Amino acid sequence: MKKLNCILLIDDNAHTNFFNKRIIQKLGLADEVIAVENGKLGLDYITRQGKYNDSEKRYPKPDLIFLDINMPVMDGWEFLNEYQNLPAEQKGKILIIMLTTSPNPDDMEKALSLPDVTAFKRKPVTPDMLMDIMAAYFME
């Protein structure tokens, strides 16, 4: 299994971001784990806009995004609508996994019908879930 360059967490819950970041780091799955609080900041990170438009700083392109559905400013659905319109060079080969506490089966159906969503998982992230994702999508 290869170590990822960067994992981007897009979730408005600081505790969730802290917990997920800690597990990912403990398992040594990525060189960097970046957490942002909403879809707008996630898009800004990917496109190097807003506060991420700084040529002096290194902002590695994520290999994997964990995307929450319900967030203020820009939710997961809005993020995906904007993301699908990005140029191919900005999207690269980023895998997007939606993470949610939503019990609504319509959310899963909608998410998996979108071409940019690789998988739909229920929170919380666990070490076993992360290892399954790595084995399924990031084997060398």
Decide if pLDDT at 137 tops 90: yes
Residue 29 lies in a domain: yes
Q: Tell me whether residue 46 is in a domain.
A: yes
What residue numbers bound the domain in which 19 lies? 13-103+116-129
53 found inside a domain: yes
In a domain, 99, yes or no: yes
CATH number at residue 59: 3.40.50.2300
What pTM, to 2 d.p., does this model score? 0.94
Q: What is the pLDDT of residues 5-49, one digit of tens each?
A: 999 999 999 999 999 999 999 999 999 999 999 999 999 999 999
Report pLDDT for 140: 73
Number of domains in the chain: 1
What are the tens digits of pLDDT across the range 5-16?
999 999 999 999
pLDDT at 105: 87
Query: Does 140 reside within a domain?
Result: no
Choose among 72, 96, 73, 68: nearest CA to 84.
96
Q: Is there a domain that residue 136 lies in?
A: no
Which pLDDT tens digit goes with each residue over 88-131? 988 888 999 999 887 788 999 999 999 999 999 999 899 999 99
